[in-house]
Amino acid sequence: MKRILVTGGSGFLGSHLCERLLKEGNEVLCVDNLFTGRKSNIHHLLDNNNFEFLRHDITWPLYVEVDEVYNLACPASPVHYQFDPVQTTKTSVLGAINMLGLAKRLKIRILQASTSEVYGDPEVHPQPESYKGSVSTTGIRACYDEGKRCAETLFFDFHRQHGIEIKVMRIFNTYGPRMHPQDGRVVSNFIVQALKGEDITIYGNGQQTRSFCYVDDNIEGMYRLMNSRPDFTGPVNIGNPVEFTMLELAELIIEITGSSSKLIFLPLPQDDPMQRKPVIDLAKKELDWEPKVDLRTGLISTIAYFDNLLQSDHKV
Protein backbone atom coordinates (compact mmCIF):
# COMPACT_ATOMS: atom_id res chain seq x y z
CA MET A 1 0.00 0.00 0.00
CA LYS A 2 1.29 3.45 -0.99
CA ARG A 3 0.35 6.73 0.64
CA ILE A 4 -0.31 9.06 -2.29
CA LEU A 5 -0.74 12.83 -2.26
CA VAL A 6 -3.19 14.31 -4.78
CA THR A 7 -3.14 18.11 -4.92
CA GLY A 8 -6.34 19.56 -6.34
CA GLY A 9 -7.92 16.30 -5.20
CA SER A 10 -11.46 17.62 -4.73
CA GLY A 11 -11.61 19.03 -8.24
CA PHE A 12 -13.10 17.44 -11.35
CA LEU A 13 -10.10 15.31 -12.35
CA GLY A 14 -8.66 15.06 -8.85
CA SER A 15 -11.74 13.44 -7.34
CA HIS A 16 -11.83 10.78 -10.07
CA LEU A 17 -8.11 10.15 -9.54
CA CYS A 18 -8.63 9.76 -5.78
CA GLU A 19 -11.30 7.14 -6.48
CA ARG A 20 -9.00 5.25 -8.82
CA LEU A 21 -6.08 5.25 -6.39
CA LEU A 22 -8.29 4.00 -3.56
CA LYS A 23 -9.60 1.19 -5.77
CA GLU A 24 -5.98 0.19 -6.41
CA GLY A 25 -5.53 -0.31 -2.66
CA ASN A 26 -3.68 2.89 -1.77
CA GLU A 27 -4.00 5.46 0.99
CA VAL A 28 -4.88 8.86 -0.47
CA LEU A 29 -4.16 12.29 1.00
CA CYS A 30 -6.37 14.74 -0.88
CA VAL A 31 -5.16 18.35 -0.64
CA ASP A 32 -7.24 21.26 -1.95
CA ASN A 33 -7.87 24.90 -1.03
CA LEU A 34 -11.43 24.58 -2.40
CA PHE A 35 -11.14 27.58 -4.73
CA THR A 36 -12.61 25.55 -7.58
CA GLY A 37 -12.65 22.09 -5.99
CA ARG A 38 -15.82 21.07 -4.15
CA LYS A 39 -16.31 18.91 -1.08
CA SER A 40 -19.34 17.36 -2.78
CA ASN A 41 -16.94 15.73 -5.28
CA ILE A 42 -15.26 13.74 -2.49
CA HIS A 43 -18.12 13.45 0.02
CA HIS A 44 -18.60 9.77 -0.81
CA LEU A 45 -14.93 9.09 0.00
CA LEU A 46 -14.81 10.68 3.46
CA ASP A 47 -15.91 7.49 5.27
CA ASN A 48 -13.10 5.48 3.65
CA ASN A 49 -10.40 4.85 6.26
CA ASN A 50 -7.74 5.10 3.55
CA PHE A 51 -8.84 8.59 2.50
CA GLU A 52 -7.88 11.87 4.16
CA PHE A 53 -8.78 15.43 3.17
CA LEU A 54 -6.58 18.41 4.03
CA ARG A 55 -7.53 22.00 3.18
CA HIS A 56 -4.31 23.68 2.09
CA ASP A 57 -3.03 26.06 -0.60
CA ILE A 58 0.10 24.64 -2.26
CA THR A 59 1.57 28.11 -2.81
CA TRP A 60 2.64 27.49 0.79
CA PRO A 61 4.97 24.60 1.69
CA LEU A 62 3.42 21.31 2.77
CA TYR A 63 5.17 18.97 5.20
CA VAL A 64 3.73 15.46 4.89
CA GLU A 65 5.08 11.94 4.47
CA VAL A 66 3.93 10.27 1.23
CA ASP A 67 5.21 7.83 -1.40
CA GLU A 68 4.03 9.61 -4.58
CA VAL A 69 2.65 12.99 -5.62
CA TYR A 70 0.10 13.81 -8.32
CA ASN A 71 0.16 17.60 -8.74
CA LEU A 72 -3.22 18.62 -10.17
CA ALA A 73 -3.77 21.84 -8.20
CA CYS A 74 -4.63 24.85 -10.37
CA PRO A 75 -7.85 26.41 -11.67
CA ALA A 76 -8.16 25.04 -15.19
CA SER A 77 -11.03 26.89 -16.86
CA PRO A 78 -10.73 30.46 -18.25
CA VAL A 79 -13.52 31.76 -16.00
CA HIS A 80 -11.72 30.57 -12.90
CA TYR A 81 -8.08 31.17 -13.78
CA GLN A 82 -8.78 34.69 -15.08
CA PHE A 83 -10.65 35.60 -11.86
CA ASP A 84 -7.31 35.97 -10.02
CA PRO A 85 -4.58 35.67 -12.66
CA VAL A 86 -1.70 36.44 -10.28
CA GLN A 87 -2.81 33.67 -7.93
CA THR A 88 -3.15 31.32 -10.91
CA THR A 89 0.48 31.92 -11.89
CA LYS A 90 1.56 31.52 -8.26
CA THR A 91 -0.29 28.21 -8.01
CA SER A 92 1.45 26.84 -11.10
CA VAL A 93 4.93 28.15 -10.28
CA LEU A 94 5.18 28.29 -6.46
CA GLY A 95 3.00 25.19 -6.22
CA ALA A 96 5.38 23.29 -8.51
CA ILE A 97 8.40 24.47 -6.49
CA ASN A 98 6.79 23.37 -3.22
CA MET A 99 5.68 19.98 -4.51
CA LEU A 100 9.04 19.34 -6.20
CA GLY A 101 10.75 20.30 -2.95
CA LEU A 102 8.62 17.73 -1.15
CA ALA A 103 9.49 15.09 -3.75
CA LYS A 104 13.18 15.99 -3.44
CA ARG A 105 13.14 15.66 0.36
CA LEU A 106 11.31 12.34 0.27
CA LYS A 107 13.09 11.03 -2.86
CA ILE A 108 9.77 10.09 -4.49
CA ARG A 109 8.14 10.20 -7.91
CA ILE A 110 5.96 13.16 -8.85
CA LEU A 111 3.51 13.71 -11.74
CA GLN A 112 2.65 17.13 -13.13
CA ALA A 113 -0.78 17.65 -14.66
CA SER A 114 0.24 20.02 -17.44
CA THR A 115 -2.02 21.07 -20.29
CA SER A 116 -2.45 21.38 -24.02
CA GLU A 117 -2.57 25.14 -23.35
CA VAL A 118 1.25 25.07 -23.42
CA TYR A 119 0.80 24.88 -27.22
CA GLY A 120 -1.19 28.16 -27.23
CA ASP A 121 -3.00 28.93 -30.49
CA PRO A 122 -1.05 26.31 -32.44
CA GLU A 123 0.57 26.90 -35.80
CA VAL A 124 1.13 23.14 -36.10
CA HIS A 125 -1.87 20.83 -36.33
CA PRO A 126 -2.32 18.31 -34.79
CA GLN A 127 0.08 18.94 -31.93
CA PRO A 128 2.94 16.52 -31.14
CA GLU A 129 4.94 16.82 -27.92
CA SER A 130 7.87 18.19 -29.94
CA TYR A 131 5.90 21.32 -30.92
CA LYS A 132 7.16 24.29 -28.89
CA GLY A 133 3.90 26.26 -28.97
CA SER A 134 2.63 29.71 -29.93
CA VAL A 135 1.72 31.44 -26.69
CA SER A 136 1.09 35.10 -25.86
CA THR A 137 3.00 36.20 -22.77
CA THR A 138 0.77 39.26 -22.30
CA GLY A 139 -2.75 37.99 -23.05
CA ILE A 140 -5.55 37.23 -20.60
CA ARG A 141 -4.85 33.47 -20.83
CA ALA A 142 -1.10 33.83 -20.18
CA CYS A 143 -1.44 33.38 -16.40
CA TYR A 144 -2.47 29.77 -17.04
CA ASP A 145 -0.56 29.01 -20.25
CA GLU A 146 2.75 30.48 -19.12
CA GLY A 147 2.30 29.30 -15.55
CA LYS A 148 2.00 25.72 -16.80
CA ARG A 149 4.94 26.17 -19.18
CA CYS A 150 7.10 27.42 -16.33
CA ALA A 151 5.98 24.49 -14.17
CA GLU A 152 7.17 22.08 -16.87
CA THR A 153 10.52 23.89 -16.90
CA LEU A 154 10.81 23.51 -13.13
CA PHE A 155 9.99 19.81 -13.31
CA PHE A 156 12.71 19.13 -15.86
CA ASP A 157 15.25 21.31 -14.03
CA PHE A 158 14.57 19.49 -10.75
CA HIS A 159 14.92 16.22 -12.67
CA ARG A 160 18.27 17.21 -14.16
CA GLN A 161 19.66 19.01 -11.13
CA HIS A 162 18.40 16.81 -8.30
CA GLY A 163 17.57 13.49 -9.96
CA ILE A 164 13.86 13.68 -9.09
CA GLU A 165 11.69 11.08 -10.87
CA ILE A 166 9.17 13.16 -12.83
CA LYS A 167 6.20 12.47 -15.08
CA VAL A 168 4.73 15.31 -17.16
CA MET A 169 1.28 14.87 -18.72
CA ARG A 170 -0.22 17.35 -21.18
CA ILE A 171 -3.98 17.11 -20.75
CA PHE A 172 -6.26 17.98 -23.67
CA ASN A 173 -9.95 18.89 -23.29
CA THR A 174 -11.49 16.47 -20.79
CA TYR A 175 -15.13 16.21 -19.78
CA GLY A 176 -17.40 14.04 -17.66
CA PRO A 177 -19.36 13.92 -14.39
CA ARG A 178 -18.26 16.38 -11.67
CA MET A 179 -17.32 19.15 -14.07
CA HIS A 180 -18.15 22.48 -12.42
CA PRO A 181 -21.45 23.76 -13.90
CA GLN A 182 -20.13 27.35 -13.97
CA ASP A 183 -16.61 26.64 -15.20
CA GLY A 184 -17.21 28.33 -18.55
CA ARG A 185 -15.96 25.35 -20.56
CA VAL A 186 -17.73 24.51 -23.75
CA VAL A 187 -19.08 21.08 -22.74
CA SER A 188 -20.54 22.22 -19.42
CA ASN A 189 -21.82 25.49 -20.95
CA PHE A 190 -23.63 23.74 -23.80
CA ILE A 191 -25.11 21.01 -21.58
CA VAL A 192 -26.42 23.38 -18.91
CA GLN A 193 -27.88 25.73 -21.52
CA ALA A 194 -29.51 22.82 -23.38
CA LEU A 195 -31.02 21.33 -20.22
CA LYS A 196 -32.41 24.73 -19.21
CA GLY A 197 -33.75 25.36 -22.71
CA GLU A 198 -31.64 28.51 -22.99
CA ASP A 199 -29.89 29.77 -26.11
CA ILE A 200 -26.60 27.95 -26.70
CA THR A 201 -23.80 30.50 -27.00
CA ILE A 202 -21.20 29.75 -29.65
CA TYR A 203 -18.16 32.00 -29.85
CA GLY A 204 -16.93 32.89 -33.33
CA ASN A 205 -18.46 31.03 -36.28
CA GLY A 206 -18.49 27.66 -34.55
CA GLN A 207 -15.88 26.16 -36.88
CA GLN A 208 -13.08 26.16 -34.31
CA THR A 209 -12.30 22.59 -33.25
CA ARG A 210 -11.54 20.68 -30.09
CA SER A 211 -10.98 17.02 -29.25
CA PHE A 212 -12.83 15.75 -26.20
CA CYS A 213 -11.48 13.04 -23.89
CA TYR A 214 -13.81 11.35 -21.38
CA VAL A 215 -12.63 11.56 -17.78
CA ASP A 216 -12.21 7.78 -17.30
CA ASP A 217 -9.84 7.64 -20.27
CA ASN A 218 -7.88 10.59 -18.91
CA ILE A 219 -7.45 9.01 -15.47
CA GLU A 220 -6.34 5.74 -17.04
CA GLY A 221 -3.65 7.61 -18.98
CA MET A 222 -2.56 9.48 -15.87
CA TYR A 223 -2.31 6.28 -13.82
CA ARG A 224 -0.33 4.50 -16.54
CA LEU A 225 2.05 7.43 -16.87
CA MET A 226 2.78 7.53 -13.13
CA ASN A 227 3.51 3.80 -13.18
CA SER A 228 5.55 3.80 -16.39
CA ARG A 229 9.26 2.95 -16.54
CA PRO A 230 11.46 5.27 -14.44
CA ASP A 231 13.37 6.81 -17.36
CA PHE A 232 10.22 7.89 -19.20
CA THR A 233 9.53 11.45 -18.09
CA GLY A 234 7.24 12.72 -20.83
CA PRO A 235 5.91 15.22 -21.62
CA VAL A 236 3.19 13.07 -23.11
CA ASN A 237 -0.12 14.12 -24.66
CA ILE A 238 -3.22 12.55 -23.10
CA GLY A 239 -6.34 13.37 -25.08
CA ASN A 240 -8.75 12.12 -27.72
CA PRO A 241 -7.52 12.67 -31.31
CA VAL A 242 -11.05 12.73 -32.78
CA GLU A 243 -11.82 16.34 -33.71
CA PHE A 244 -15.19 18.14 -33.56
CA THR A 245 -16.28 21.67 -34.41
CA MET A 246 -18.19 23.65 -31.81
CA LEU A 247 -21.26 23.49 -34.06
CA GLU A 248 -21.05 19.68 -34.20
CA LEU A 249 -20.76 19.51 -30.40
CA ALA A 250 -23.73 21.84 -29.86
CA GLU A 251 -25.92 19.92 -32.32
CA LEU A 252 -25.04 16.58 -30.70
CA ILE A 253 -25.90 17.88 -27.21
CA ILE A 254 -29.22 19.29 -28.46
CA GLU A 255 -30.00 15.92 -30.05
CA ILE A 256 -29.19 13.89 -26.91
CA THR A 257 -31.03 16.23 -24.53
CA GLY A 258 -33.99 16.76 -26.86
CA SER A 259 -33.62 20.46 -26.11
CA SER A 260 -35.44 23.28 -27.86
CA SER A 261 -32.41 25.55 -27.46
CA LYS A 262 -31.40 27.79 -30.35
CA LEU A 263 -27.84 28.65 -31.35
CA ILE A 264 -26.56 32.22 -31.00
CA PHE A 265 -23.14 33.47 -32.06
CA LEU A 266 -20.92 35.83 -30.04
CA PRO A 267 -17.45 37.33 -30.69
CA LEU A 268 -14.49 35.01 -30.18
CA PRO A 269 -12.61 35.64 -26.88
CA GLN A 270 -9.05 36.98 -26.97
CA ASP A 271 -6.35 34.35 -27.64
CA ASP A 272 -8.92 31.55 -27.94
CA PRO A 273 -7.20 28.82 -30.00
CA MET A 274 -8.85 27.85 -33.31
CA GLN A 275 -7.63 24.24 -33.31
CA ARG A 276 -6.65 21.75 -30.68
CA LYS A 277 -5.97 18.08 -31.34
CA PRO A 278 -3.31 15.80 -29.82
CA VAL A 279 -0.90 13.47 -31.50
CA ILE A 280 -0.98 10.46 -29.14
CA ASP A 281 1.62 8.20 -30.77
CA LEU A 282 3.92 8.54 -27.74
CA ALA A 283 1.15 7.55 -25.30
CA LYS A 284 0.31 4.53 -27.45
CA LYS A 285 3.94 3.46 -27.59
CA GLU A 286 5.06 4.11 -24.00
CA LEU A 287 1.82 3.62 -22.06
CA ASP A 288 -0.17 1.33 -24.36
CA TRP A 289 -2.90 3.94 -23.95
CA GLU A 290 -5.55 5.38 -26.20
CA PRO A 291 -9.07 6.64 -25.42
CA LYS A 292 -11.91 4.10 -25.45
CA VAL A 293 -15.04 6.23 -24.85
CA ASP A 294 -16.58 7.94 -27.89
CA LEU A 295 -18.09 11.41 -27.57
CA ARG A 296 -21.75 10.37 -27.72
CA THR A 297 -21.32 7.74 -24.99
CA GLY A 298 -19.40 10.14 -22.76
CA LEU A 299 -21.91 12.94 -23.27
CA ILE A 300 -24.83 10.72 -22.28
CA SER A 301 -23.36 10.08 -18.81
CA THR A 302 -22.19 13.69 -18.47
CA ILE A 303 -25.64 15.03 -19.38
CA ALA A 304 -27.24 12.67 -16.86
CA TYR A 305 -24.92 14.05 -14.15
CA PHE A 306 -25.80 17.67 -14.97
CA ASP A 307 -29.50 16.84 -15.21
CA ASN A 308 -29.45 15.37 -11.68
CA LEU A 309 -27.42 18.33 -10.42
CA LEU A 310 -29.82 20.90 -11.86
CA GLN A 311 -32.84 19.03 -10.50
CA SER A 312 -31.26 18.86 -7.04
CA ASP A 313 -30.48 22.58 -7.11
CA HIS A 314 -34.06 23.29 -8.16
CA LYS A 315 -35.44 21.22 -5.25
CA VAL A 316 -33.23 23.12 -2.80
pLDDT of 268 reads 79
pLDDT of 274 reads 80
Contact between 212 and 240 under an 8 Å Cβ cutoff? The reply is yes
Catalytic residue among 70, 144, 175, 223: 144
pLDDT of 271 reads 65
Domain residue spans of the chain: 3-175+214-241+274-292
Distance CA(36)–CA(181), nearest Å, equals 11
Q: Average pLDDT by consecutive 10-residue portion of the chain (316 residues)?
A: 97 98 98 95 97 98 98 86 90 97 98 95 93 92 94 98 98 95 89 96 90 97 98 98 96 96 88 84 98 98 96 62
H or E segment to which residue 177 belongs: none
Contact between 286 and 236 under an 8 Å Cβ cutoff? The reply is yes
Distance CA(133)–CA(92), nearest Å, equals 18
Number of neighbours of residue 289 by Cβ within 10 angstroms: 21
Nearest partner of 211 among 178, 247, 172, 248, judged by Cα: 172
Measured between alpha carbons, how far is residue 67 from residues 42, 87, 105, 287 in Å? 21, 28, 11, 21
* pLDDT tens digits, one per residue of 93-136: 999 999 999 999 999 999 999 999 999 988 999 999 999 999 99
Right CATH number for 3-175+214-241+274-292 from 3.20.20.70, 3.40.50.720, 3.40.50.300, 3.40.50.1100?
A: 3.40.50.720
203 is catalytic: no
pLDDT of 75 reads 84
